[in-house]
Every structure is written in structure tokens, then in C-alpha cells.
Structure 1
Amino acid sequence: MIVVEGSGLVRRIGLAGKLIGHEDWVNTIEFNRCGDCLVSGSDDRRVMLWNVASKALVLSYDSGHARNVLQARIMPFINDTVIVTSGGDGQVRLGQVTDNGNLQTIELGKHNGHVHKLAVEPGSPHMFYSCGEDGFVQRVSFFGPDSEHVMSGSDYGHIFVWKKKDGRVIRIMEGNKCIVNQVEPHPNIPVFASSGLEKDITLWAPVSDNIPPLVHELLHIMESSRQTRDNVSRLRLRPEVLMDVFRPNRRQ
């Protein structure tokens, strides 16, 4: 883990745990509205629900998708009993825990291609939107009590945090050995989760005041990027340039 500059909680964030259960790459993670549970979906076509505090697996089921699960969302205000998913097979599906404790999945609709994004209507337990390949935009996440930071994964296995106001990189963390394709902030506390081309989900939280100084890691990352992108020449970059340089690629 390395740091460029920063203060407060962002400086203290470190590895807080792993959620281990999937058998292939994890494509999607999201906290529920209260932040005590996290849902994940994977190339193994399974959906898993986790207790964040205990890191225990609460629920695991076959999504019913014929290809990888690209998005999973917990519908709000119904006790985390309904999860909607989308996948590489174009399907949009619903998984629901019934009153007798069983779980059933049904297909709600189908796109002509990969469905990369689901968005829940704020405040509604019954309405959400899906977006297929014709409208895909790579995701970044906002972090902090006033959303003053922007976070993104990268092709280099690192998580980047920079100030939204001026685009300064303030933190770089080693996410995994390969690509980090999603970072998901907790809705209430300074915690976030990340996933990528690994089977595990990583939890991050303020855990230490012992932050090592920047040595050669950032220079190595920037030099690797500079080989293919001529406009990466210094640490202080415009936000739109940072978005372009560190945009992660998903495996479809």
C-alpha cells in the first residue's frame, strides 16, 4: 500500500478483510441501504449475500444466468429479500427469498447483448432500470461525507483516490494482483469494498496510522501508463485525464 498525499481517514484506510466464496472473477459488489450486508455476482454465475461485520456468507444461489453475472442490486425496504441481477447473456433476473425460506429466480426481461448496469429507483422497492451495451459508461465512485473524493480501480491492480475539486491523486492502494474493476463505498461509514479479476472481495477501512511514504511504486505505475499514453506526464492531472488513464477494462 502506498500514499501520495492526503489527510484524515483517507490516509488511514487499509485492508480490513476478505470475503471468500466465489469460484471465479467477481464482477459486481454493492452494499445494501443500511450497509450491514453486501451482495456480489461473479463469472461463476452465482450471487452471494454477505454479512459485512462478521464477513460471513449469508446466502448463495445460482442466478439462473447462462453467462457471467455483471450486476447485482439489493432492492430497498423489503428486508434484503429481493436481488435483481443482469448478465452477459442479456437477461435481467430477480431472485427472491419466499416466506417459507426458499429462494426462487425468474427472468424479468432480456436485452440484445450484455447488460452492464442496473440502477434502483431511489426510495422504491419495486422499480429499477437496466442498461445494455448501447449505453455503457465505465463506473467511478465518490467517497467521503460530502463526496469530495473520487475512487476508481485500474488495469494495474491498484485503487486510486483523488480529490474531486482539483484532480490531485491523494492515495494509491494495491487492490489485487490484476485488474480492479469496481470499488463500492459503504453508504454510511468510511469503508469500501473492491473486486476484480480475482475470486475474493476486499474490504477497506481506517485501520492504521502507519502509512509508508511514496517511493518508486507510483513512478513505476506512471511509467507503464506513459508508454501508451503520451499525455501522462506529471502527478497533478485534470480529473478527465485521470479517468482516462486509470479506466479499468472488464472481462465480458
Structure 2
Amino acid sequence: MPPEKNRMAGLWDREVGRLPPKNFASSIMASQDFVHSLNIQKRLRKHRGCVNTLSFNADGRLLLSGSDDRTIALWKWEEAVPTFAFHTGHSNNVLHAQFMHLSDDRSIVSCAADGEVRHSKIQEGGRVITDELVELEFAVHKLAVEPGSPHTFYCCCEDSSVWLFDLRGKDAVELFKCGAADHFSGENVELFAIAIDPRKPCFFAVAGSDEYARIYDTRKICLDGSSRFGRPTEHFCPPHLIGENKDGITGLAFSQTSELLASYSYDNIYLFSTEHGLHFNNIEVGERLLMDETEGACNINTAPLPFCRDKLPVPQTFKGHRNIHTIKGVNFLGPNCDYVTSGSDCGHIFIWRKKDGELIRVMKGDKRIVNCVEQHPSGTAVASSGIENDIKIWEPGECENPSISHIEEVEISMWESSSSDYDAFFNDYDYMVDSDDILYHDDDDTSEDSSDDDEYGDNSDKRSSDGDSSAKEDSDGDNSSKDMSDGC
């Protein structure tokens, strides 16, 4: 049956009550028709800096965003209005923020380029109480909230540390520093990504400035200092990158079946499963493995290492995007993680079919760079953000100016364009946030041009997700907030 007839049959089944709405949405999102029908339907505008983090709440009613302007906004995204916004107390760019589970969406944790991890509690009447949980010397890029827990979450930091937090006692415990035991130089690994396996929440992955995605088992945590918890239970790495230690990983994401996506800087995205594990293939990552390997034909009797690259299974590869200038995430789309998606330095969103790695859609999502792509937990909406100050909501349907790009055109424009264009852009980038005056106003933002095709004007904010910022806030404690609509 042609795809259009399948879709019409699904509509009929839904209308007559044979197909529940949630199942209907799932069947639509699993189809390639869904991917090809996505267009920008809404733009959410209030931030005054790059939007570095997006997260839907559990039922998908609210969208959480954090920005270089050091604020967090809660959006009724279907109406394209911010229902609540507040200053986090961070003194530098907010890099990640998430709702804590089972908190009625009033408990939010955030991390930033200032090295702080903060907990914000939204009170009745719109008052926000913000506590600093830890202050480190380097940027904290990513948080991972334990599934189903209103209290426990993790973070990873540029100083290679991984921390565990329990909000019941405001405890912050440094679990380990990544890389000291298995990096040939003896240096630690700067960490940019952390993700918890939703199927097996006792396992989480971290990755950063080297080539390995490491898996850890939380059941080995021992807080008395006697644990060897800092040793990974598994390492993942594409065979051709083992021992290269070049550019590292910027984003991680687990599927519902414990597959792990890793987005490599200056390289591709790879999908790892159990059989790709180095330990699974009897390879121990250590000093000898990284330093002694020599090129040449592999002979089991003469090879200097107990493995050969061409004997290892090669993970599914997703090619075409560009990941150089910012810390980009990577994600799955579809009810069964049917697709893989990522932003790109060329300002496009890329969507691949997971089962074979075929690139099936490229969409213009930003004038410069797309960093975040997040799927609604149960509906057919996708949110994206990047260097621009707004958030795009993608849904099936037509729009006045479809953001569709032909794959061939994108590849030509991206790979033939000079890298000096990007370098010049970032050399001129203004990382400073000069005043709290730029936060939120009730009037419309008339300075923002909604056209995707115009170049940046003089009023455009140019702030990187990794930039510096203005001076630190005078104090912690209560932070003023502005109720933008009817409150949270």
C-alpha cells in the first residue's frame, strides 16, 4: 500500500476509535513521511543570547531552555509563549538545565561555564530560591538526572571530574577523575558529555577530549575512598580511532535498548552496542595499547598488540554533518529511536535512518550553528536551538518558508566553504554579557529578524556556548524572577 494510503488508514482508525492517539502519534513518528513533513511551525523568542540547552518535561507540556544570558525559561511551547523565566544566579553561560523528576516541574538543576552547579526551586507566587551545590574551577558542560528520582543526578566537568548530587542533603560527592588510570600521557580527560542508560540506570557513559566513550557502573560506588569506581567497565571507540587521541567526543545519547550514540569532533557519529565494546573483544585500554601500536599487516604471531583493527566490528556510522566549533549534542528521533539527529556547523539539522545510516533529511535550523535537537516525549514536535537567540519548533505541516535543503546542496556548501569563514566568525564573537538589563521584557522583540536567509545585523547577539562572561553575581540565595504569563 502506498505511504499516503497507509497514513489515511491510520487517520481513519484514529477517528473511529480503533487506534489510540498515543499509538497513532507513535506510528506517524516512526515513518519516513514524518521526517520529510517537518517544518518550522513556531519560533520561541525571549532569550538574549545563544540557547545552549533544551529539555521537555515528562508530559511534554513545558519546554525548558537555558541561555548565554544566564536565564532559564519555561515555555508553553504550543502557544509559543514563555510562562515563566528567572535568572539562575550563574555568572556565565548556562550550558545545561533539566527538570528533576516527580517535582511538579518546580525543581530545576543547571550547570554553566562558571563551574557552578545550581538547584532552583520555584515557589508559589513566582519566587525562585536558588542554591549553589558546588563551584568548580572549570566549566561544567552536562548533567544527567537519574530516571525516576526527584533527588539524584550527576554532572561532568572540564577538569575531568564526575560528581554525584543528592538534593535531600545538598550533598555533592566527587566520584572520580576520568582518564588518570588509562590515558597514556597520564593526563586527565576534559569531559563534555554524560548520559544514563534508561534501560539499565545503574550504568552511565562519559566522554570528552579523547577518543573513548567510557561506561561506569554505579553499583561500584563506595564513598569511603576505598572504591575502584574510577575504572570503566567498558570502552567504546571506532577501530580506526583507537589510540589516536585527536579531537574527542562532544555528545552522547542512549537508546531505549542501551545502544550508545557518540558524536566525534572533526569526525562522524557512531552507534555502539555490546559487541563493539573493547573489553567485550578482550582488549584492555591501557598505556601499552595506546603507545605500542604500529602500522602494518596484522599477524597474530607478530602483532605488537593483542588485537587487529580490521578484526573489530565497525559501528554504524552517520556522515555528512560538521562538528568542529561548539559542543554539540546528538539524539534519537522516533518512538523506537528509529532515527539519529544532530546539529551542524553549517546551520542545518541532519536526520539519518538508524538501521542503515542513510541521510534522509537536512533542514535549515540556524544562520550559523545548530547545537541542540530535542524530541517531544510523546508527540510529534521537535525543538532545536543554536547560535541564534530563538528556539525553533518543528512539526509536520506546511509553512510559508519551508526550511528544506537538498542534501547535495548542503554537502557542497559545507565542504567547499572555507574554514576561515568560521574562524573569523568566532574571532569576532562577543562572549560578554554586560548587563542584567537584557533579560526579559513584556513587549515583543522587534529587533529580531525572523528570516532565515538574512545575515546577522548589528543587533544580533553573538555568544558561544563555550564563552566567557561578565562578573560573578554578588550573592547566591534568592533570585528575582519575572512571571511572563500565568506562572508555572
TM-score normalized by structure 2? 0.44
1:28 Cα deviation (Å)?
A: 0.7
Deviations 1:69-126 (A, max 9, x none): 0001011211111111000000000111124541111101123311110111000111
- In structure 1, what is the equivalent of residue 135 of structure 2? 110
Give ranges in structure 2 of 5+ residues lacking alignment.
1-30, 159-189, 194-249, 251-328, 421-463, 468-488
Deviations 1:18-76 (A, max 9, x none): 11000111111111111110111111111111012111111111110011100010112
Question: Aligned pair count?
Answer: 227
CA distance in 1, matches of 2:129, 2:395: 34
Deviates further, 179-188 or 214-223: 214-223
Q: Structure 2 vs 1, CA of residues 159 and 215 (structure 1 numbering), >3 Å: closer, same or farther?
A: closer
- In structure 1, what is the equivalent of residue 28 of structure 2? none
When Rg is computed on C-alpha atoms for both structures, the one with the higher figure is 2
CA distance in 2, matches of 1:164, 1:93: 36
- In structure 2, what is the equivalent of residue 185 of structure 1? 375
Question: Counterpart of 2:55 in 1: which secondary structure?
Answer: strand
Instruction: Give the partner amino acid of 1:147.
Output: C
Deviations 1:112-169 (A, max 9, x none): 3111101110001111111112221422010001101000000000000001121110
CA distance in 2, matches of 1:194, 1:81: 23
User: Cα RMSD over matched residues?
Assistant: 2.4
Contact conserved, 2:93 with 2:465, CA < 8 A, in 1?
no
Contact conserved, 1:92 with 1:109, CA < 8 A, in 2?
yes
Instruction: Give the partner amino acid of 2:191.
Output: G
- In structure 1, what is the equivalent of residue 7 of structure 2? none
TM-score normalized by structure 1? 0.83
Instruction: Give the partner amino acid of 2:406.
Output: L
Asked if 1:121 corresponds to 2:177, the answer is: no
Question: Counterpart of 1:41 in 2: which secondary structure?
Answer: strand
Contact conserved, 1:113 with 1:132, CA < 8 A, in 2?
yes
CA distance in 2, matches of 1:84, 1:156: 31
- In structure 2, what is the equivalent of residue 165 of structure 1? 355
1:224 Cα deviation (Å)?
A: 2.8
Give ranges in structure 1 of 5+ residues lacking alignment.
1-5, 229-248
Contact conserved, 2:95 with 2:465, CA < 8 A, in 1?
no
Q: Which has the higher helix share?
A: 2
- In structure 1, what is the equivalent of residue 333 of structure 2? 143
- In structure 2, what is the equivalent of residue 90 of structure 1? 115
Q: Of residues 41, 45, 56 in structure 1, which corresponds to 2:70?
A: 45
Contact conserved, 1:95 with 1:105, CA < 8 A, in 2?
yes
Contact conserved, 1:12 with 1:211, CA < 8 A, in 2?
no
1:251 Cα deviation (Å)?
A: 3.4
Q: Which has the higher strand share?
A: 1
CA distance in 2, matches of 1:70, 1:54: 25
Asked if 1:251 corresponds to 2:466, the answer is: yes
